[in-house]
Every structure is written in C-alpha cells, then in structure tokens.
C-alpha cells in the first residue's frame, strides 16, 4: 500500500488542492476583492503581516535555531503560503470579520504566484543539497493550474449557479478533508511519518512557530487598534496557513518514489506541515471560543461589519 501511495502522491495532493480552491472560489464574489477599498487599515495590517512579517519570523527562526533540514524546509514552505478557506470558516465561527478574512485570503492567494517562489528562494537555500534547484517555473505553473484556475471557476459558478456553488463549497471541504486523511494514512503506510525521527524538540519548534504567528497576528491587530472582530480575523488568517497548497509544494519539490521512502528531508518537511496544521487549529480554538461567547457579532469599523449568514460560508 505504501509504494502504491507513493506512485499517486502527487496526483492526490494536486486533486485535494483543486477541490479546496474550487470550494473556496464558490464562496467568493468580485466585491470581496474590492471590499478593501473601504477604509483599508485592517486589510493592510493583515496583508503586511502575511506577506512581510511571517516570512521574516521564519527567516529569524531558521537562522537562530539549529533545525533539521527537513523541518527547516517545512517551515519555509509554511511561511511562503497564504491562508486558506479554513481560516474563513474559523473566522466565522469565532464571530470575526468574515469579509476582512475573505479579502486577505483572496488577495494573498492571487499574490502567491509571486510570493511563494520568492519566499522559498530566500529561505530554503542553506538547508538543501548544493545541487538542488528550486523549480520556480513549475511551482508558478502549478499555482496557476491548481489554485488560481479552480478559484476562478468557483467564482464563476457562484455568479451563475449560486445553488450549485453552495453544494460545491460544502462538499468540497468535506472531500478535501478526506483526501488529506488519505495523504496522512498513505504517508504513514509508506514510512514517511516517522515520529522518532521528528522528535519532541522539532515538534516543539513547530508548535512554537505556530504560537509566534498567532501572537503576531493578535499583536499587530491590537497595536493598530483594530476592533475585536478584526483582531480575530487577522489572527486566524495569519495562524491557519493553506495546508493544501503547502502539501502540493512539498510534493512538487520532492517527488515521491519507492526508492525515496526514507528520504529524511522530504519526510520531515511533510511531518512539519501536518504538525503545524494541527498546532494552528489548537491555537485558534481559544479565539473561536471567546468570540462565540459574545452575544452577537460586533460590527467592525472597517472592511467587514457583521458576519454573513451561515449559508454564505462553506
């Protein structure tokens, strides 16, 4: 089973990203991109943290802490990707400013065709073999084909067939969750998730990275005096990365093969991405709980305002 999964890993990771982005697009209108024009202070705060501060934190971490190369590459990949549709769902659950969350996700997703290769190029160099060449062109092409195209297709579907779009957004997230489960199970069967090789120290570093990002999101929003719903949106957006895209980038940089089952760098990068996803969910849980304790969503002073009705989200 393990070898069979390795033969299909790239296809599975590609499909799960396509489905996730189609589901995300099925919740987006063009106005979500334009919403930031209205008093964009919260949007610029979130965008600045995502595009500038997160890679800077990763850079400092990779330079100051002696990490296993595989863990370092995983951290670099996580720092390069934007938030995903899950962050929008969590923002809604926590009574955050959903339009703000969607705007940050949408714009950073469009920008990642440029930001992902640039951030990876700046961060992974010291941790890969000297003859390693980052496939920038391939990564950019994959972002267009598996991220931007299905995102646009979902938006078109929402505009012309809103009833279908609601079903696509709901079932798309469910299918994506199943496919990520397949990735975890297949990777484990193939011997790619070695907890002993990862070790408690590396797990602690990954959890610490997630904690710093969460604190960074909250701190930036509080320091710029954003209203509480905006604080929730920015913090969740910064903490919950697009795991779907991170998994595809990892599979693209380090293609799986039966002969590479024990490749520690690729395997630890995979473990790092999955461990970070789990840690980020735990860290945003208090934001969701405290947000839901408010009797009603507070109106934002900026981009969003009250959270939309549940049917507007997947």
Q: In 3-state terms, what secondary structure has residue 83?
A: strand
Residue 313 lies in a domain: no
pLDDT at 299: 44
Round to whole Å and give the CA distance between 191 and 271.
Answer: 11
- Reported pTM: 0.83
Here the CATH number for the domain that contains residue 84 is 1.20.1530.20
Chain-centre distance for alpha carbon 147: 12
Residue 35 has what pLDDT?
62
Structural domain of residue 197, as residue ranges? Answer: 2-289
64 located within any domain: yes
Count of domains observed in the chain = 1
- 157 domain residue, yes or no: yes
What is the rounded distance in angstroms from the CA atom of residue 230 to the CA atom of residue 210?
Answer: 19
Q: Residues near 131 by Cβ (< 8 Å), separated by ≥ 6?
A: none
Residue 308 lies in a domain: no
**b/e map 19-54, b = 16+ CB within 10 Å:** bbbbbbbbbbeeebeebbeeebebbebbbebbbebb
CA separation, residue 268 to residues 108, 120, 195, 220, 276 (Å): 26, 17, 9, 31, 12
Q: Is 299 left (phi over 0), alpha (psi -120 to 50) or beta?
A: beta
Q: So what's the pLDDT on residue 298?
A: 45
Q: How far apart are CA 177 and CA 170, in angstroms?
A: 11
SS3 content of the chain, % helix, strand, coil (to 5): 80, 0, 20
Quote the CA–CA distance of 309 and 31 in Å, as a whole number: 17
pLDDT at 3: 63
With respect to residue 122, please indicate whether it lies within any of the assigned structural domains. yes
- What pLDDT was estimated at residue 109? 87
Beta bridge partners of 83: 241
pLDDT in tens, the chain (314 residues): 556 666 777 788 889 889 988 988 898 888 776 766 665 889 999 999 999 999 999 999 999 999 999 999 999 999 999 988 788 888 888 888 888 888 898 889 889 889 999 999 999 888 887 777 778 888 888 888 888 899 899 999 999 999 999 999 889 888 988 988 888 888 788 777 788 888 899 999 999 999 999 999 999 999 999 999 999 999 999 999 998 899 889 888 877 654 444 367 888 999 999 999 999 999 999 998 888 776 454 444 444 454 544 444 44
Task: Report yes or no on 309 lying in a domain.
Answer: no
Model pLDDT, residue 102: 84
* Structure tokens belonging to residue 80: 């390069």
Q: Is residue 231 part of a domain?
A: yes
């Amino acid at each position: 089973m393990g070898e069979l999964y390795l033969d299909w890993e790239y296809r599975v990771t590609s499909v799960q990203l396509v489905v996730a982005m189609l589901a995300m697009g099925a919740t987006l209108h063009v106005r979500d991109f334009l919403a930031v024009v209205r008093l964009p202070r919260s949007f610029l705060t979130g965008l600045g943290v995502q595009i500038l501060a997160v890679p800077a934190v990763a850079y400092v971490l990779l330079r100051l802490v002696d990490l296993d190369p595989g863990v370092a590459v995983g951290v670099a990949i996580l720092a390069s990707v934007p938030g995903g549709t899950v962050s929008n769902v969590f923002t809604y659950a926590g009574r955050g400013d959903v339009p703000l969350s969607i705007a940050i996700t949408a714009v950073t997703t469009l920008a990642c065709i440029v930001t992902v290769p640039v951030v990876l190029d700046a961060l992974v160099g010291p941790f890969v073999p000297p003859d390693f060449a980052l496939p920038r062109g391939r990564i950019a092409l994959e972002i267009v084909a598996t991220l931007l195209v299905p995102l646009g297709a979902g938006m078109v579907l929402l505009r012309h067939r809103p009833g279908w779009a609601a079903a696509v957004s709901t079932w798309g997230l469910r299918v994506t969750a199943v496919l990520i489960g397949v990735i975890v199970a297949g990777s484990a069967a193939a011997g790619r998730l070695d907890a002993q090789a990862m070790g408690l120290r590396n797990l602690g570093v990954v959890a610490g990275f997630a904690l710093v990002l969460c604190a960074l999101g909250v701190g930036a929003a509080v320091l710029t005096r954003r209203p509480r719903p905006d604080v929730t949106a920015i913090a969740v957006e910064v903490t919950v990365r697009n795991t779907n895209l991170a998994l595809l980038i990892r599979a693209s940089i380090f293609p799986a093969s039966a002969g590479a089952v024990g490749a520690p760098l690729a395997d630890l990068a995979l473990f790092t991405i999955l461990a970070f996803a789990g840690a980020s969910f735990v860290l945003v849980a208090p934001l969701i709980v405290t947000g839901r304790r408010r009797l009603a969503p507070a109106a934002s002073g900026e981009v969003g305002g009250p959270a939309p009705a549940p049917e507007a989200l997947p």
